[in-house]
Amino acid sequence: MERQFHGKIIIELPFKLLTGTHIGNSNDGFAIGGIDKVVIRDAVTRLPIVPGSSLKGKLRSIVEALEGMEKGQPLEQGKWYGRPHISGGQTLYRHEADTRAEALKNAVDRTFGTTGRGSADTNHPARLAVSDAQVTRETAEVLSDLEGDFPFTEIKSENFLDRITSAANPRSLERVPAGSVFVSRVTYTVEDLSHVKDDLKFLLAALKWLEDDYIGGNGSRGYGRVKFGRAEKLPLDTIDSLPIRVTVKPRRAYLEDTEPQAQEFDTVQALREALSGTLLQPLGR
């Protein structure tokens, strides 16, 4: 199937942690001071990061749920979430179109990509790319002043009690402190002008959903709450948040070597409202 290129929509996506956040592996801290779970860090700076794969995977699962509900498909095996995928011996269910033509009918497939059933005409490359989120310079400076055994983070001790035996099960987790600001880069490749508004509608709705949900682990215990764009400072917080910056870069900008001006939005809601205005006009010229 022929793929077109009309341009790219580049979103510099900052977000502030409203609560301490843990994104890491469950068993990579066993040799580090008795910490049960440590966070993922940049290999060079040792600053904490939020992997693009984590953010993109979370957004995909939300878009899948939103589009499934809009199309009246219940969230159960055999319906919208119909085909099993085997990963590490565990059966996971998620929606994936079986052909490229079928993928183009669904925002989740055409935006986040699909592998289908593995034949020659099933792979549909993702239109959305999500980069690792790095902390801002101001955040790095504040985190560098933290006192503790681990640079740039805090240690949260927890104690789980067996409800039957009352046996204690203490453990310690490394978290990125509340107030930290990260910036990711989300790039949407425009292949079909008729799909842009629908794909972005679901993407931005997923960001709003995520603000009411969480990223990382232990979200049911209050970890991982975020706010995209500008956010009010928390008590004793000294780190400034940033606006969302959107650059609509049509194909001719690459041919003529020009750089369109970015537009700034304080909130996801403001960006959603801009979709019905002139934001996307450069793509049609």
Q: Which two tokens stand for residue 134?
A: 């790095």
Measured between alpha carbons, how far is 123 from 118 in angstroms, rounded to an integer?
7
The mean pLDDT values, 10 residues at a time, for the chain of 285 residues are: 86 96 66 66 93 94 86 56 51 71 88 74 86 96 84 80 71 89 97 95 96 92 94 89 97 92 96 92 83
Q: Tell me the β-bridge partners of 181.
A: 16
Contact by Cβ (8 Å): 191, 6: yes
Instruction: Count CB neighbours of 221 within 10 A.
Output: 11
Measured between alpha carbons, how far is 225 from 21 in angstroms, rounded to an integer?
8
- Identify the DSSP state of 202: H
Q: Which residue has the tokens 């843990």?
A: 22
- pLDDT per residue as tens digits for the range 257-266: 899 999 999 9
Say whether 144 sits in a helix, a strand or coil.
Answer: coil
Closest CA to 154 of 177, 126, 133, 134: 177
HEC letters along 158-196: EEEECCCCCCEEEEEEEEECCCCEEEEEEEEEECCCCCH
Instruction: Count CB neighbours of 192 within 10 A.
Output: 14
- pLDDT per residue as tens digits for the range 88-136: 555 556 777 777 888 888 899 899 988 766 556 677 889 999 999 999 9
Measured between alpha carbons, how far is 80 from 271 in angstroms, rounded to an integer?
29
**Residue 153 burial by Cβ neighbours in a 10 Å radius (0-12, 13-18, 19+):** buried
Helices (H), the chain: 52-70, 100-103, 107-112, 137-143, 196-211, 251-255, 268-274
User: pTM of the prediction?
Assistant: 0.87
